[in-house]
Amino acid sequence: MQGTETLTGFKKYINLTRPHTLTASFVPILVGSAAALVYDTFRFDIFICMLIATLLIQSATNMFNEYFDYKRGLDSKESVGIAGAIVRNGMSPRQVFTIAVAFYVIAALVGLYITFQSSIIVLIIGLIGMAVGYFYTGGPFPISWTPFGEIFAGLFMGTILIVLTFYIHLGEINSFIILLSLPVAITIGLLNMANNIRDRVKDKRSGRRTYVILVGKNTAILTAAIALFIGYVIILYIGTIHENSSVFLLLPLLSIPIAVETIKLLQQGNKPIELIPAMASMGKLNTVLGLLLTIGLLLQAIFY
C-alpha cells in the first residue's frame, strides 16, 4: 500500500525528516530573502544559515511528532502519512528522539551565529519557535491536539519566519513584508489542515480536538477554500494597489489551478489513503505559490 512501505538503510533516515513537508521550511526563507533584495539588501551567509536552521528545526519537529505519536499509541504499521521510522523501519523511539535533539542543538548553534550577525531578537524568536516545534506534539497539552494547530503552523512557519528573514537582512519590518507573508502562511496552515482532514478518524479516536474534528470535513474544506481566496485577494492587492506593487507580484496567481485542484481532491477523498493526493497537492501549492512569489520579487528587484 502506498505510504506504508518498509524502508531500510539511508532511505529510512531521509524519510524520518518527512521531506514532503520541508517546503514549508525553505519557501519562507526564499520569500523573505527575495523581498530584502527589493530594498537592495541581501546577505548570502544569512540566507544559507537561515535555510539550514529552519530545515533542521522542521525536520526535528517531524521527528518529535513521530516519537510522541508512537508513545501515545497513535501509529501502526498501517498508518499512512508518517515516516514509519519506529513502527515499520526498525528505529527505536530513543534513536528518533536523540536525532531530533541533535538537530535542535545544531540549529541553535547556527542561530547563535545569526544572532551575533544581527540582533538578540533572532535568538529569542528562534528559541520560541523551537519550543513550539517541540510542544506541537510533545508535553501534556500538545498544540496539535487543539483547534489551533493550523494557526500556529501558519504563523510561525509562514509569517514569523518570512518577516524574521527579512528583518535579519534589512534590520527593519514594514507592511510590505507582512502582507507578502500572509498567502504563504495560509498555504502552510492549510497543509496542516489537509493532514488533519486525512487523519480525522484516527485523531478523534485518540481524543484530539482539532479544528477539523470540531467542525467536520465539509466545513474544514470550505474554510480552506475561503482562506485560499483571501490569500489570492492579498496577492492582487500587493500586485496592484500597495505602494510597492508591481505586475511581477501577480505571478502567484498562476497557482490558482493547483488551489482549485487541491480543494477538489480534498472533497473527493475520504479514507486516509485516498487523501494522500490531496496532501501532495497542498504541498505542491505551497511550493509553487512561494516560488512564483520569489521569482516575482527577484524580477521586481531587477527591473524596478
Give the separation between CA 280 and CA 270, rounded to whole angstroms.
15
Beta carbons of 100 and 60 less than 8 angstroms apart: yes
pLDDT at 181: 97
Instruction: List the grid coordinates of 140.
Output: 501534556
Is pLDDT larger for residue 8 or for residue 261?
261
What's the pLDDT at 66?
A: 85
DSSP assignment, residue 250?
Answer: G
Closest by alpha carbon to 272, among 205, 184, 214?
205
Q: What cell numbers appear for 6 in the block?
A: 518498509
pLDDT tens digit string along 175-216? 999 999 999 999 999 999 999 999 999 889 888 899 999 999
Q: Which range, of 71-85, 202-216, 289-303, averages the lowest pLDDT?
A: 71-85
Note the pLDDT tens digit of each residue in 162-179. 999 999 999 999 999 999
Task: Report whether 176 contacts 242 (CB < 8 A).
Answer: yes
State pTM to two decimals: 0.90
What is the rounded CA–CA span in Å between residue 169 and residue 73?
Answer: 44
For residue 5, count other CB atoms closer than 10 A to its CB.
Answer: 11
188, three cell numbers? 502552510
- Using one digit for the tens of pLDDT, what is the confidence trace for 274-294? 999 999 999 999 999 999 999
| Range in 5-19, 88-102, 141-155, 227-241 with the lowest mean pLDDT | 5-19
Residue 7: the pLDDT is 60
Q: Report pLDDT for 4.
A: 57
Q: Are 269 and 7 in contact, with CB atoms under 8 Å apart? A: no
Does position 95 have pLDDT exceeding 80, yes or no? yes
Helix (H, G, I), strand (E, B) or coil at 108: helix
Lowest-confidence region among 15-24, 105-114, 241-250: 15-24
Above 50 in pLDDT, residue 2?
Answer: no
Buried b (16+ CB within 10 A) or exposed e, 119-129: eeebbebbeeb
183: Cα separation from own chain's centroid: 12
DSSP state of 159: I
**Contact residues for 18 (Cβ-Cβ < 8 A; gap 6+):** 59, 62, 83
Residue-range domains of the chain with CATH: 9-303 (1.10.600)
pLDDT over 70 (residue 11): yes
pLDDT (mean) for 117-121: 90
DSSP letters of 173-234?
A: --HHHHHHHHHHHHHHHHHHHHHHHHTHHHHHHHT---HHHHH-HHHHHHHHHHHHHHHHHH
